[in-house]
Each structure stands twice: as structure tokens, then as C-alpha cells.
Structure 1
Amino acid sequence: MSEKSTDRRIVRTKRLIRDALTELMEEKGFEGITVRDLTKKADINRGTFYLHYRDKYDLLEQSEAQILNEIEKMTQEINPNDFLNFNSENDPFPFIINLFEFFHENSSFMKVILGPKGDASFQGKLRDIIKKTFFQHIMSKIKGEEMLVPVEYLFSYVSSAHLGVIQHWLENGMEKSPREMAMILSRITLLGPRHVTGLIKN
């Protein structure tokens, strides 16, 4: 068997196991899952499972790390000028479109992991990525003495607000497209709540 075929088979097997984890977490929560549950749901034997993971905790950790690594890669492609030149009539930030498209592609896992039966530590890690991204691409352009609020509160507000919007979208069936969600989040972030509610007119 060729190396590519082997790699594809490994990717497929890991995806089956992650899908099994997702379904079982939605049914009974992570703590209620056993390796036997996972192998039965994924239709694999225990040997195959242990070929890739030490236990269910390692599976969860690797699954979350894969998601976070992909998001980190996307943040490296951000153009800081997108934030500075944003206009509500323009297209949304490319990064946010990519982010929502990625969440859409991985919606089953994201909905569970960010939901009430998910992993609170993952939510914290995702929030930290948002904070770091905002810091790297916004703070270099801002004069500290001109800020109206302490920077740490601004970052906490932005990261929690972004995460809340993502969770609401996932929980409510992703009725709006990734592009529509990116436009919504771009407007709220750069124009502010009072502006987007119409309380402040152009």
C-alpha cells in the first residue's frame, strides 16, 4: 500500500473516531463515554483506537488541538489594514469569513465542544486566540493614551462577544451563511453596538 493511501486511511479512521466522540458527547457528555462506546460507534476494534490515542482524554486533547492549530494558521494570514479600513458597506473581514467557513465545515464537533456538554477549557483557549489576534493586529495601530477604557477590559469584551456570537450561530442551526455571519460580526466589532442598533446615525 502506498504512503498516500496509508495517510488517507489514517485520516479517515481518525475522522470516524472524532465523529463518534462528537455524537457520544452530545448524547451523554464526555465523562460518560468509554473507549468501548467509541469503538462501537466508530465500528473499529480497540487495537485501532489505541494505535492513535492513549485514551479518551488524549482523543479529546488531539481533536481540540487540531481545531485550534487550524485557527492559528488562519490568524497568520490576517492583513491588519483590513481592520483599519473597514467600512460597513464593504465586504466583511476575510479572516472572519474563513473562520465561519471553518466552523461550518466542523460544525458538529464545534457545536458540541462549545455547548453545555462540551469542554470549558477549550472555550477558554479559543477566547485566548481571539484576544491574541486582536492584540497583534489592532494594538500596534492604537495610541494607548487615546483609549477610553483599559485595554484588558476591551480584549475581554471583544473575545467573549465573538465567542458568544459563534455559539449562538451554532446552537441555532447556522441559519445564516458564513459570509452573512462574518458581516454581522465585522459590523458589531468595528462599528459598535449603539451604531448597529441605529441609535447613532451616519
Structure 2
Amino acid sequence: MATQQARTSDLKLFNAFIDLLNDGKQLDTISTRHLIAQAGISKSTFYRHYADKFAFYNWVADYLLSQLQETVQEAQTPLIFYRRYFEKCQAYRQAYKSFIVDQHWLGFEQRLLEEGMTNYTAILGKINQPDIPVTNIASYIVAAHVGMALNWLRTDGTSTPDELANQLTRLTTGALAAFNINFANLFQLK
């Protein structure tokens, strides 16, 4: 997925959306009127780009996924990647909770898994791994990092992104070492 481009009005709406969620509003109760007022944009600006709040939520899902995609493109090591991944989850915690944990946007978690599979399958496809199919390895890694993020979001865990990144890097490095795969070297193959 390419990085999602955002107009100024999109970012105002996005920040308003995050603020409303952080203020305790539930996704189901946020109206278009709330979004427009909080963002300080005109009704016509909103409707020029979005048919309704659900079309805007689709854009938000794309934007959140593109933000995670940037972490993949920029990271040189698993630790850096996972730290940035958890920092993004922390920065937009309420949006992720609404979209994934509270299951308001059912396709979001599936899209997150698919993006991860695409990335890791491409990276792992560059190594010779006769013992286990590349898609199984990719599935394992993606399920692990999405699973840790979901647990952290569900439980309102107090671990920091650094702590989670260290834990996930250690767990994944150990598991892949059993198949003679150097996890850190995979990030050099991008």
C-alpha cells in the first residue's frame, strides 16, 4: 500500500476524530456534525470529499494503514520497526481500539494482517528456506506482532512501545533462529 496522501482538511478531520475518541466519544455516536465542528471546516468541504462519515472512516482506515506502512519502509532493524509500529499504535490508540478491539470496522484487522503478509512474504521470498514455506513464516510473524498489539490495546497495557518492541524482537528472533533465519538480516533485504 502506498502512503496515503492527505489534504489539509483530511488531517483536520482526522485529528478531530482522534480528539473525539480520546475525549471518550464512541465511534457509533460521532456524527458528521461533530467531526465538522471539531475540525473547524465547512460542511461543503466535508461533503466535497466524503459521501458520509462512513466514507471518511474508510479514509481513516487507509490512512492508519499507510502510517504503519511507512514504518516498514523506513526501518533498518526489527527493533526500530517494532518500536515505530507500537508508537503509531500508541499515538492513535483510540482509533485502533475502535476499529479493531471494539470491532467497529470489521475489515480493518483483516487488512492489517494482509498488509503484513504482503510485506513479510516479499522479504522472506528473498531467502532460501526449504524447511518451511515462506507464507507460513510470514503468517507467524504477522500474527505475533498484530496479536501483541491487540493484547496491549485490549488490556490498556502500560508497557511502553520500547518495552513491547524489545519483547517482540526477542521472541521473533528466537523463533526464527530455530530455522536458521537471522531476523535482523531480513530487514537488510527490503
TM-score, normalisation: structure 2: 0.72
1:106-143 deviation line (CA, Å, top 9, x unaligned): 111112111133322111111122222222333313x2
1:79-121 deviation line (CA, Å, top 9, x unaligned): 3xx36xxxxxxxxx11111111111111111121111333221
Whether the aligned pair in 2 keeps the contact of 1:25 and 1:33 (CA below 8 Å) is no
Matched, 1:94 2:93: no
Structure showing greater Rg: 1
Structure 1 residues 49-58 or 66-75, which shifts more?
49-58
Whether the aligned pair in 2 keeps the contact of 1:19 and 1:109 (CA below 8 Å) is no
Task: Tell me the distance in 2 between the aligned counterparts of 1:184 and 1:165.
Answer: 10
- Percent of residue pairs identical: 22
Q: How do 1:16-165 residues align onto structure 2 when only pairs under 5 Å count?
A: 16-17=16-17, 19-20=19-20, 22=21, 27=26, 29=28, 34-36=31-33, 38=35, 46-79=43-76, 82=77, 93-141=79-127, 143-145=128-130, 147=131, 149-165=132-148
1:1-24 deviation line (CA, Å, top 9, x unaligned): xxxxxx76763344214544x479
Q: Secondary structure at 1:76's aligned position in 2?
A: helix
Letter in 1 for 2:145: H
Task: Tell me the distance in 2 between the aligned counterparts of 1:9 and 1:26.
Answer: 21
Aligned to 2:157: 174
Whether the aligned pair in 1 keeps the contact of 2:117 and 2:135 (CA below 8 Å) is no
Task: Tell me the distance in 1 between the aligned counterparts of 2:17 and 2:116.
Answer: 28
The alignment covers a number of residue pairs equal to 171
Aligned to 1:11: 11
User: Structure 1 unaligned runs (5+)?
Assistant: 1-6, 84-92, 196-202
Letter in 1 for 2:134: V
Relative distance call for 1:183 and 1:11 in structure 2 (3 A) is: same
Whether the aligned pair in 2 keeps the contact of 1:17 and 1:39 (CA below 8 Å) is no
Letter in 2 for 1:27: Q
Relative distance call for 1:78 and 1:42 in structure 2 (3 A) is: closer
Relative distance call for 1:53 and 1:18 in structure 2 (3 A) is: farther
User: Structure 2 unaligned runs (5+)?
Assistant: 1-6, 179-190
1:49-108 deviation line (CA, Å, top 9, x unaligned): 3244221221111101111112212211233xx36xxxxxxxxx1111111111111111
Give the superposition deviation at 1:170: 1.3
Aligned to 1:200: none
Whether the aligned pair in 1 keeps the contact of 2:18 and 2:92 (CA below 8 Å) is no
Q: Secondary structure at 1:144's aligned position in 2?
A: coil
1:134-154 deviation line (CA, Å, top 9, x unaligned): 22333313x232x2x333233
What do you get for the CA RMSD once the two structures are aligned?
A: 3.2
